[in-house]
């Protein structure tokens, strides 16, 4: 948009801890022609409140992965302002919307609200993401210090996912209207160079997407990329299914600067893993993580408690797996730590639809104050019902005990 002489300002409401009242005051003060917001299951009520309480004349642009599954709900928001609702990737069509040149892409219209669907056949679909420009000047001063004390900046190298987890809005079966894309090696290298040029203090790069290490070829590409930046460490997502066949590359990953990998384990119960379409056997999880820790790559395992029909025996199996992985790391070069959540159903997912069919209604997300004692978790301590066979107190106990493993408890 800036390249087309449109003034743009980015306001990170989470980073700046802004409430609805403050956001509305900013809109009144700055008097923009358009306001764009990202909507997802956990903040739906917040976005709705902002739109419905805004008295200033402004066009709202609403996007986010979940829009595909809740645009009918968004169409029922009450506002006199025009709304532009984007399904899919919106960076190219936004410029057309602001310039009133996007009507050919309207998928659905209701009163003052328009829905645009950007699928793989749209002229606004980013076919090659290697050349999608990101102006990092918007993020000046936003680099953080990670757990290891390194100044860290983040990049995204791909879009889409190969897997079909029943709890995830990025599941492959839900996104057949698009296809997975990866940035080429040269583009990723340039991204890192741009980060370093903007901020010479950056010491670590975090790769946020799911496909950076999707297979052997990509792992070799990652090694080649970061061998060019031997003063940087890096952290990325990993999948047991991919790493199970590539353990001979682990040492080279470590030597290229790989400090930590994030692995979605979710459950230690084979029964629950099958019900959520999670690939990988328990013995494979143990084997892969052992070998990563052995070469000195730290691992952060993600766990979820409270899946539908989960019973106390399933919870115990998940805790036992987390405890086992933590205990083996004590005598290895790498450290294992946990990140733990209560299951929340996200719009459009397989589990969301199963629950909706059974219970007819899913409550909106609310803050779980019982977990607030853990620092840095405010954005994760949300719940929207308990669909397991266990009491809420039992779920919270297992979440707490699994988090306490990080402190050696």
pLDDT single digits (tens) 158-202 = 999 999 999 999 999 999 999 999 999 999 999 999 999 999 999
Mean pLDDT calculated for residue range 240-247: 94
371 and 382 Cβ atoms separated by less than 8 Å? no
Predicted local confidence at residue 4, as pLDDT: 78
- Residues 90, 211, 344, 119: is their CA dihedral positive or negative? positive
- Binned at pLDDT 50, 70 and 90, residue 127 comes out as very high
Predicted local confidence at residue 142, as pLDDT: 74
In order of start, what are the domains of the chain with their CATH numbers?
2-118 (3.40.50.280), 132-407 (3.20.20.70)
- Binned at pLDDT 50, 70 and 90, residue 2 comes out as confident
Half-sphere exposure of 179 (CA within 13 A, CB side): 6
- Kind of pairing between the strands at 34-38 and 83-88: unpaired
- Phi, psi (deg, nearest 5) at residue 45: -65, -30
What separation, in Å, do the N-terminal and C-terminal C-alpha atoms of the chain show?
Answer: 51
Is the confidence at residue 26, as pLDDT, over 90? yes
343 and 307 Cβ atoms separated by less than 8 Å? yes
Query: pTM for this structure?
Result: 0.92
Ordered strands of the 233-238 beta sheet: 144-145, 151-155, 204-207, 233-238, 258-266, 298-305, 336-342
Burial of 145 (0-12, 13-18, 19+ CB in 10 A): exposed
188 and 132 Cβ atoms separated by less than 8 Å? no
Predicted local confidence at residue 408, as pLDDT: 75
Percentage above 70 pLDDT, the chain: 95
Nearest to 274 by CA among 346, 176, 350: 350
Mean pLDDT calculated for residue range 238-267: 97
- Binned at pLDDT 50, 70 and 90, residue 377 comes out as very low
Predicted local confidence at residue 367, as pLDDT: 67
Q: At what angle do helices 216-226 and 185-198 cross, to 10 degrees?
A: 30
Round to whole Å and give the CA distance between 127 and 179.
9
Is the confidence at residue 133, as pLDDT, over 90? no
Predicted local confidence at residue 373, as pLDDT: 53
């Amino acid at each position: 948009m800036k390249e087309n002489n449109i003034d743009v300002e980015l306001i990170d409401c989470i980073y700046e801890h802004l409430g609805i009242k403050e956001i509305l005051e900013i809109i009144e003060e700055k008097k923009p022609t358009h306001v764009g917001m990202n909507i997802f299951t956990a903040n739906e009520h917040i976005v709705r409140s902002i739109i419905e309480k805004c008295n200033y004349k402004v066009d709202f642009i609403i996007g986010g992965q979940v829009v595909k599954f809740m645009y009918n709900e968004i169409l029922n928001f009450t506002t006199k302002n025009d709304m532009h609702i984007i399904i899919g990737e919106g960076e190219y069509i936004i410029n057309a919307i602001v310039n009133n040149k996007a009507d050919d892409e309207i998928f659905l219209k209701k009163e003052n609200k328009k829905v645009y669907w950007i699928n793989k056949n749209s002229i606004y679909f980013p076919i090659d993401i290697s050349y999608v420009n990101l102006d990092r000047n918007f993020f000046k001063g936003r680099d953080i210090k990670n757990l290891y004390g390194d100044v860290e900046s983040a990049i995204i190298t791909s879009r889409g996912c190969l897997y079909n987890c029943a709890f995830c809005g990025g599941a492959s079966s839900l996104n057949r209207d698009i296809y997975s894309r990866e940035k080429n090696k040269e583009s990723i290298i340039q991204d890192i160079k741009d980060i370093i040029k903007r901020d010479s203090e950056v010491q670590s790069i975090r790769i946020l997407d799911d496909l950076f290490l999707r297979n052997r070829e990509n792992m070799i590409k990652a090694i080649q990329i970061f061998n060019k930046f031997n003063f940087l460490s890096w952290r990325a997502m990993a999948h047991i299914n991919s790493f199970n066949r590539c353990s001979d590359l682990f040492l080279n990953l470590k030597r290229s600067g790989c400090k930590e990998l994030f692995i979605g384990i979710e459950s230690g119960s084979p029964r629950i893993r099958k019900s959520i379409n999670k690939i990988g056997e328990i013995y494979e999880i143990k084997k892969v993580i052992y070998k990563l820790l052995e070469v000195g790559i730290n691992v952060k395992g993600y766990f979820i408690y409270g899946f539908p029909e989960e019973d106390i025996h399933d919870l115990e199996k998940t805790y036992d797996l987390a405890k086992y992985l933590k205990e083996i790391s004590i005598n290895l070069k790498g450290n294992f730590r946990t990140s733990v959540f209560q299951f929340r159903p996200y719009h459009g997912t397989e589990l969301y639809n199963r629950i909706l069919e059974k219970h007819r209604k899913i409550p909106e997300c609310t803050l779980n104050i019982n977990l607030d004692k853990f620092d840095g978790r405010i954005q994760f301590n949300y719940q929207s019902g308990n669909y397991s066979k266990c009491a809420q107190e039992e779920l919270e106990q297992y979440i707490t005990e699994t988090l306490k493993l990080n402190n050696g408890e």
